[in-house]
Amino acid sequence: MNIIFKYKHRSIIMKFNNLTLFLSRVFYIILLGSQYIFVFILSGCSSGWNIHNPYEQVDWEDHRQYKANFHTHTTRSDGKFSPQAVVDKYHKLGYKILTITDHNEVTFPWTDFAAMEPSDRAKERLENGVLEQKSLTYENRDPEALGMVAIQGNEVSTPHHVNSFFTDYEKRTDQEQIALESIESRGGVVVINHPGRYTGENPKKYNTNWYADILTRFDNIAGIEIYNQVDRYPTDRQLWDSVLVELMPGRPVWGFSNDDFHGDLNKLGVGWNVFILPELTEESVRTGMEEGRFFYVHAAEGHNGAKPPQIESVNVNRKKGIIEIKSIGQDSIRWISGDQVIQRGNSIQLTKNTEIFDYVRAEIFGPGTITGTQPFGIHNP
């Protein structure tokens, strides 16, 4: 008998050989406290695979795809352009979801840009002739009029930078624990930024165990950046895979691709996320972030280069253990588990992969571009 415990959008899969063992475990979990609410899904009647599909709730016929960036800066911190100029640049490129993540400053709402002050650093750069006055002169923008969703957020500069969303928390601290607890208490969502910077500077502290630990302790961390500023830290995908090996299938960790735009136009629109949503609203975006209803895109040449592959549907056959992707514009598709390519082609049959870990993800390659899925949790019956 296989039981899936659902808690805060997370799935914890447990296997029981008999009903007595199952009931004893359930009773123990209930004793942990009334704050935990579980939904039990019994799959013992089927001989199929337990596959956690992050796109389970996507209606591929009716839902639409929206381009999103969750990491960008303005002269409210260390960026080169004003908030409205940044919004205008992303709007011109067809983005529908955008978060301005100035360091320890919540540049939100967009309709209040004109009342905000540039950072001291920006003022100093103006005096030194590095910036122009127009970059420090702010104008409001109306996201609804632009057909966009503005997401509240900022980059919290703890020792390890993280992005905070859906909250006004903007304090700088020298302890990640304090920042994460504060964001959690305010109901915010977190994405871990450019981990390669920290695994390179301090590998003794920032290793797979460290990331797995905080991801286990803080359920509101949606995932980590796996592409940042084109591909500033190529080891980020390796870290992602190592964390997934430790935590899947019980604790999904979503991969994000963000510009981390500061002003270099060659790094504008080179990495984004494609959300598949029933409607373009803040609530839908948040659900998509938490449940992994999006793909990541890496396009080194930006919007001047080739169009990346587009995923049209994902189909999961649990009885046969098959995951199939329908896409256009691809040269090839490879399936990855444990940082290793385990199969190629538009589908994977799990029964043919004896060395697979408890997850698999797909990368769809186009000319100079990659579109990637979120990890599928796997439990072999």
Q: What is the pLDDT of residues 174-193, one digit of tens each?
A: 999 999 999 999 999 999 99
Cα–Cα nearest to 247, from 62, 38, 52, 84: 52
Residue 28 in this model has a pLDDT that exceeds 50? no
Q: What is the pLDDT of residue 354?
A: 77
Question: Which pLDDT band holds residue 2 (cuts at 50, 70, 90)?
Answer: very low
pTM beyond 0.85: yes
Q: Determine the Cα–Cα distance for residues 273 and 370; give it in Å rounded to an integer.
A: 11
Residue 257 in this model has a pLDDT that exceeds 70? yes
Q: What is the pLDDT of residue 47?
A: 57
Q: What is the pLDDT of residue 175?
A: 92
Give mean pLDDT, residues 261-286.
97
Residue 238 in this model has a pLDDT that exceeds 50? yes
Q: What is the pLDDT of residue 237?
A: 98
Question: Which pLDDT band holds residue 21 (cuts at 50, 70, 90)?
Answer: very low
Give mean pLDDT, residues 365-379.
97
Residue 6 in this model has a pLDDT that exceeds 70? no
Residue 231 in this model has a pLDDT that exceeds 50? yes
Per CATH, the number for 65-294 is 3.20.20.140
| Average of per-residue pLDDT values in the chain | 90
Q: Return the domain boundaries, the chain.
A: 2-45, 53-59+312-379, 65-294
Give the DSSP letter string of 38-96: --EEE-TT--S-EEE-TTTT--TTT-EEEEEE--B--TTTT-SS-HHHHHHHHHHTT--
Give mean pLDDT, residues 81-107.
98
127's CB contacts (< 8 A; 6+ apart) are none
Check if CATH label 2.60.40 holds for domain 53-59+312-379.
Answer: yes
Q: Token pair of 193, please?
A: 């930024």
Question: Which pLDDT band holds residue 17 (cuts at 50, 70, 90)?
Answer: very low
